[in-house]
Amino acid sequence: MKRIITYGTYDLLHYGHISLLKRARELGDYLIVALSTDAFNWNSKQKKCYFSYEKRKQLLEAVRYVDLVIPEECWEQKAEDVKLYKVDVFVMGDDWKGKFDFLKEQCEVVYLPRTPEISTTQIKKELGK
Ligand code: C2G
């Protein structure tokens, strides 16, 4: 079984996220999403989420491409996660291109093209939030 992992905040889940999850899942047989916790978002990513971790987790678990959701609590957990979950492929959108190449010692690293025209920031802006 080919195991894939990807990381993110996934707030205000939209079709750009779904497209990334679909393409990530298609690279293997099992997709793990490490979902940024509220504390990690606030303290390390300066992101204030609209939905709490539990709500974002519930939404992701309803996505057909997602097999497991685990918490992302810090930047440094990736190498440990790859080992712990026996990951074969690490996947991120290409806005992160090159940032996680250090993981190539442990697994394949793939950066997939982002969906350019949509973002949570833009949704919030257009809704006047
Ligand atoms: N994404 C995408 N297209 C978009 C928006 C997002 O393909 N229009 C992808 C991103 O490239 C990322 C994933 O969807 O791979 C989740 O995006 P975010 O929730 O914005 O995640 P991010 O803040 O980039 O967190 O340790 C890594 C971080 O947790 C990544």
**16 in contact with ligand 1, CB cutoff 6 A:** yes
Q: What pLDDT score was predicted for residue 11? A: 97
41 contacts 126 by C-beta, under 8 angstroms = no
In the β-sheet with 30-36, what is the strand arrangement from edge to edge?
68-72, 30-36, 3-8, 89-93, 108-112
Residue 77 has pLDDT above 70, yes or no: yes
User: Which tens digits make up the pLDDT trace of 14-36?
Assistant: 999 999 999 999 999 999 999 99
Active site residues: 45, 47
Q: How remote is the CA of residue 112 from the centroid of ligand 1, in Å?
A: 10
Q: Is the pLDDT of residue 129 over 80?
A: no
Q: Ligand 1: which residue has its CA nearest to atom 13?
A: 8
Q: What is the pLDDT of residues 79-120, one digit of tens each?
A: 999 999 999 999 999 999 999 999 999 999 999 999 999 999
The protein residue whose alpha carbon is closest to atom 28 in ligand 1 is 8
Contacts of 112 (CB under 8 A, 6+ apart): 20, 23, 24, 91, 92, 93, 94
